[in-house]
Amino acid sequence: MVAGTWYAWQVRSRPWAACIGLLLGGAVTHLLDRLLRAPSFGQGHVVDFIAYFDWFIGNVADIALFGGGVLLVLLSWLGLTLRPEPGE
């Protein structure tokens, strides 16, 4: 999460900004669930409430993490950089 935050300050590409935002948003949401939800501090449960047919049950943070991961792979495969040169 620290590396993701550092990259968020360095990014100058909108697609990479969206990717890092999705990953950080999902990670921070899961971390806060673990820290602040019942039964106690640091032992909280992540609330999963969306059933994806018979595959698994997840939440919005799971969707953000998955979408950010797919976008990360796609942007890397396309060769887009965090700080594109002027004119790219």
To the query of whether residue 62 is one of the catalytic residues in this protein, the response is yes
User: Torsions phi, psi of 70, nearest 5?
Assistant: -65, -45
Tokens 């939440």 belong to residue: 59
33 a catalytic residue: no
Rg of the chain taking only CA atoms, in angstroms: 16
Q: Residues 16, 29, 62, 71: which is the catalytic one? A: 62
Active-site residue, from 6, 48, 76, 84: 48
Please name the residue that has the structure tokens 């040169």: 85
Which residues are identified as catalytic?
A: 48, 62
